[in-house]
């Protein structure tokens, strides 16, 4: 039962991250990120029960409040305020991005499973899923030309790191809390950065900003 639920939540987390690669609408990307965050919170609660660790319950509460509720609301407010309704530009075709995503998942499995033979089976599989989420989040960041879409990729990458942390017995709560605090601070700084970009360039497309910078040189 412990393995089945953990695998189910890990699979949902991985699937939602993979589906980010196929989305060009920011609203859909935010919804998938929220699903990812809510699943991560549920995984933290379940791991807290399975490992009898009160710290993991606290991690679940922080994840639910910050990533499952607060950050998606803030992201939707940015979309509404900047009127970012149209599809975002991508750096490569969707089909190619998804093929690369499948390849990255395969690399994660090939790297993690052989190198963790002595670990508990559940921990090994959680680490493989977590690394896959991290790599897919990085791929989302590199294949999107919109700054807000890149932020969603960054937040998705951080979710993979938290999944790895909660899947490893004995991970100090202070480490998990510091990661959550770092994400919040990074998001606040990025929000200010987006406002300044919009004020000066009237766009959040980083390609257009790079063109303006090159012309300025």
Q: Are 105 and 82 in contact (CB under 8 A)?
A: no
pLDDT on residue 214: 53
**pLDDT tens by residue, 41-50:** 998 898 888 8
Backbone angles phi, psi at 152, to 5 degrees: -60, -40
What whole-number distance in Å separates Cα of residue 216 and Cα of residue 152? 29
Structure tokens belonging to residue 148: 């807000």
Could you tell me which residue, 206 or 45, shows the higher pLDDT? Answer: 45
- H/E segment holding residue 116: none
pLDDT on residue 99: 93
Q: Are 28 and 144 in contact (CB under 8 A)?
A: no
pLDDT on residue 176: 55
pLDDT on residue 212: 47
Give residue 159's Cα distance to chain centre: 5
- H/E segment holding residue 47: helix 26-51
Would you tell me how many other CB atoms lie within 10 Å of the CB of residue 126?
25
The answer, yes or no, to whether residue 73 has pLDDT greater than 60, is: yes
Q: In the predicted model, what is the mean pLDDT of residues 178-187?
A: 60
Window from 9-23, 74-88, 127-141 with minimum mean pLDDT: 74-88
Which CA distances in Å does 157 have to 22, 102, 197?
17, 16, 23
pLDDT on residue 198: 55
Highest mean pLDDT among 57-61, 99-103, 165-169: 99-103
Q: Are 137 and 159 in contact (CB under 8 A)?
A: yes
**pLDDT tens by residue, 105-136:** 999 888 887 765 555 555 677 888 988 999 99
pLDDT on residue 6: 77
3 state SS of 144: strand
Instruction: Show the CA angle centred on residue 89, arms to residues 160 and 31, nearest 5°.
Output: 45
Q: In the predicted model, what is the mean pLDDT of residues 158-172?
A: 76
What whole-number distance in Å separates Cα of residue 26 and Cα of residue 145? 12
Q: How far apart are the first and last CA of the chain?
A: 61
**pLDDT tens by residue, 191-201:** 555 555 555 55
The answer, yes or no, to whether residue 205 has pLDDT greater than 70, is: no
pLDDT on residue 179: 59
What whole-number distance in Å separates Cα of residue 22 and Cα of residue 101? 10
Q: In the predicted model, what is the mean pLDDT of residues 170-185?
A: 56
Q: In the predicted model, what is the mean pLDDT of residues 67-71?
A: 89
**Rounded (to 5) percent helix, strand, coil in the chain:** 80, 0, 15
């Amino acid at each position: 039962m412990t393995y089945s639920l953990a695998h189910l939540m890990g699979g949902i987390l991985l699937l939602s991250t993979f589906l980010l690669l196929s989305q060009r609408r920011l609203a859909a990307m935010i919804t998938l990120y929220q699903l990812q965050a809510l699943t991560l919170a549920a995984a933290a609660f379940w791991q807290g029960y399975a490992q009898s660790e009160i710290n993991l319950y606290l991690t679940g509460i922080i994840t639910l409040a910050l990533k499952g509720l607060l950050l998606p609301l803030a992201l939707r407010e940015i979309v509404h305020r900047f009127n970012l309704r149209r599809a975002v530009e991508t750096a490569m075709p969707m089909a190619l991005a998804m093929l690369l995503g499948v390849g990255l998942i395969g690399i994660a499995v090939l790297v993690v499973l052989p190198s963790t033979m002595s670990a508990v089976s559940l921990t090994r599989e959680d680490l493989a899923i977590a690394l896959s989420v991290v790599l897919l989040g990085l791929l989302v960041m590199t294949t999107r030309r919109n700054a807000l879409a890149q932020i969603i990729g960054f937040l998705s990458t951080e979710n993979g790191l938290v999944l790895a942390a909660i899947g490893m017995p004995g991970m100090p709560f202070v480490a998990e809390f510091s990661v959550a605090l770092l994400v919040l601070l990074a998001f606040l700084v990025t929000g200010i950065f987006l406002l300044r970009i919009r004020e000066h360039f009237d766009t959040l497309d980083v390609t257009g900003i790079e063109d303006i910078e090159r012309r300025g040189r």
